[in-house]
Amino acid sequence: MLEDAKRGMEIGEKVMIELFTTPKEQVKIELFQYILFSRAGEFSKDLKEKLNLKNETFRRYSKELEEDIHELFGQDIKIIKKSSKIVIKMKNEMTPDYIVTRLKLNYMRKSPLYNLLSTLISKSYTSIPEIAYDLNFSEPTVYKLLTQVKEIMLPFKAEFDLANATNFSGDELGVRYFLYLTHWHLFNTLGKKPFSDAFPPEFIDINFLKRSLKIERKLSKAQEQKLLILAGVTSYRIVYFKKYVKVEKAFLEDISIFYRGHHCLNLASFNVDPEIIEKESILLSFLVRGLIFEFDDMYEKKRVVERFQNSKLSIGYEVSLFLEKFRETFSFEFSEENYVKSYYLLVLTNLYSRYIQFNVDFYRAVPIEKNYELFEKKPRYRAVKDRLNQIITYFPSSQQLNDLERKSLTALLYTIYELNAPSIPVQVYINHTSSIVNSFYIQNTLKKFFNSDLIAFCKTIPEADVIISSDPEGNFLSKDVFYFKNIFDKETWTDLIEFLSKSLYEKRFR
């Protein structure tokens, strides 16, 4: 058991995509993203430095990437050279996230592990030879891959099990969580539905789900897909495998506040006990908030917060006390909106920490464990680190936090701090001497891009963090200087916005 836990930790140190792609494919994805997200393309020299590649390796990877892109997109996307830079030429109707997702999936689908997981999720098996036959793999290969599956599933308190008709056994919530994340990250469908055409349509009726969850606004494509996956996986396991989550009474009471009183699983015609549908609907109403970003709008978040505050649940009182201690520690006042956002985040975090506790950091797009060292280097974080460590001791947790939970909570509390801490705008001095009007024109244009929390305009150079001028203003090593010659030049304006954004990040957000 100790060895299993150790292997689970080792697998958790990887980002999920690393399990299903080769190191070369990961570099090619990075290379493509650098070019795709650069405004004016990238020089080969800069790309080699960023990716730490030798000349020959860079040329080989670039050529292979061009071939991969052509195979996937034909003439719709091309990687070309333009003015000594590498740029991507593509049709306007294609979005960057769609392109990157297709490239990642293209590489991942070549992985034997990916193919095995796809097979195990779509069909029940009773023997290794049966799996090997379907995949055209040798039995030793299947055994080796199943060892990896076992390691991946350990943090979910679940396992692959040939004796179980569903292929998976263990903690039912963990199994569902695993299936949800696997469908989203690995089989991320770019079509309208996340499952095959044979999947029962009642389970993924988006109109029923939105109506029962009281969602009146339009959801994004990602929000809608995640909701359908959650509802689909839950409904399928309840109806066809009679698998139900054992929810302790205290957990059900705490999360019932998220429930709007209507069954949100469309199972009325599937001979499922209404009491089971009710409990599972309460659970789903909570899970969608924790797993789908911005599932609730501000109005709904406020309603949830008020219900917790007015309830007799201990968690509502404990979060209120914690936020008061947080306010005292950092000496600021909450705005009404930021208080609601902070309370809402802490309630979800507390409930997850108290009742669920799956260590699945490696499934995050940006894992805490892998990026925490970078986070700790932020000067703004270091300035409040001691106070954050102090306030964590007041967090209402039912048990001692492990190292990863502590890091995750620290990152969350720092986010809440940044959400509420008073902002100090960057001071900008403008002097455009070719015309008295130009300085006012530049100032008014910048106000349309940056609000008063981000930048303010000062009258003298000593006050300034940033100088925008048409003429040299002397040697000011401690200040960022942008020489703005021609207000009618589009490229200069683009460069100025980019320059100010970088300066804002360096001076206020690092």
Q: How far apart are CA 471 and CA 485, in angstroms?
A: 8
pLDDT band at 8, cuts 50/70/90? very low
Q: Which residue has the higher pLDDT, 145 or 37?
A: 145
**Which CATH class, in words, describes the domain spanning 21-92?**
mainly alpha
Please tell me the predicted confidence (pLDDT) of residue 12. Answer: 36
Q: Is the pLDDT of residue 7 over 60?
A: no
Q: How far apart are CA 55 and CA 93, in angstroms?
A: 34
Q: Is the pLDDT of residue 14 over 50?
A: no
Report how far apart, in Å, the C-alpha atoms of 60 and of each of 23, 88, 287, 484 are: 14, 18, 45, 41
Q: Which residues contact 437 (CB under 8 A, 6 or more apart)?
A: none
Average pLDDT of the chain is: 87
SS (H, E, C) 278-315: HHHHHHHHHHHHHHCCCCCCHHHHHHHHHHHHHCCCHH
Q: How would you label 354-364 residue by residue, b for 16+ Cβ within 10 Å and e otherwise?
A: bbbebbbbbbb
Q: Give 435-444's long-range contacts (Cβ < 8 A, gap of 24+).
A: 438/470, 438/487, 441/487, 442/468, 442/484, 442/487
Closest Cα partner for 367 from 27, 113, 17? 17
User: For residues 324 and 391, is the Cβ–Cβ distance under 8 A?
Assistant: no
| Of the candidate ranges 8-12, 115-119, 146-150, 226-230, the one whose mean pLDDT is the lowest | 8-12
Mean pLDDT of 133-140: 97
Closest Cα partner for 479 from 424, 435, 426? 426
Q: Kindly report, residue by residue over 339-394, the tens digit of the pLDDT.
A: 999 999 999 999 988 888 777 666 666 677 777 887 788 888 888 999 999 999 89
pLDDT band at 397, cuts 50/70/90? confident
Q: Say what the pTM is.
A: 0.85
Q: Which residue has the higher pLDDT, 377 or 257?
A: 257
Q: Cα 244 to the chain's mean position, in Å?
A: 28
User: For residues 356 and 173, is the Cβ–Cβ distance under 8 A?
Assistant: yes
Q: Kindly report, residue by residue over 151-204, the tens digit of the pLDDT.
A: 999 989 999 999 888 899 999 999 999 999 888 887 766 667 788 888 999 999
* Radius of gyration, alpha carbons of the chain: 27
User: For residues 309 and 346, is the Cβ–Cβ distance under 8 A?
Assistant: no
Q: Where are the domains of the chain?
A: 21-92, 112-291, 299-420, 426-509
pLDDT band at 478, cuts 50/70/90? low
Q: Is the pLDDT of residue 476 over 90?
A: no
CATH code assigned to 426-509: 3.40.50
Please tell me the predicted confidence (pLDDT) of residue 366. Answer: 66
Highest mean pLDDT among 110-114, 434-438, 484-488: 110-114
**Assigned token pair, 61:** 């990877």
Mean pLDDT of 292-311: 94
Please report, rounded to a whole number, the percentage of residues in the chain having pLDDT higher than 90.
54
Q: Give 447-451's long-range contacts (Cβ < 8 A, gap of 24+).
A: 449/497, 449/500, 450/500, 450/504
**Assigned token pair, 27:** 């570099």
| Of the candidate ranges 163-177, 322-336, 368-382, 400-414, the one whose mean pLDDT is the lowest | 368-382
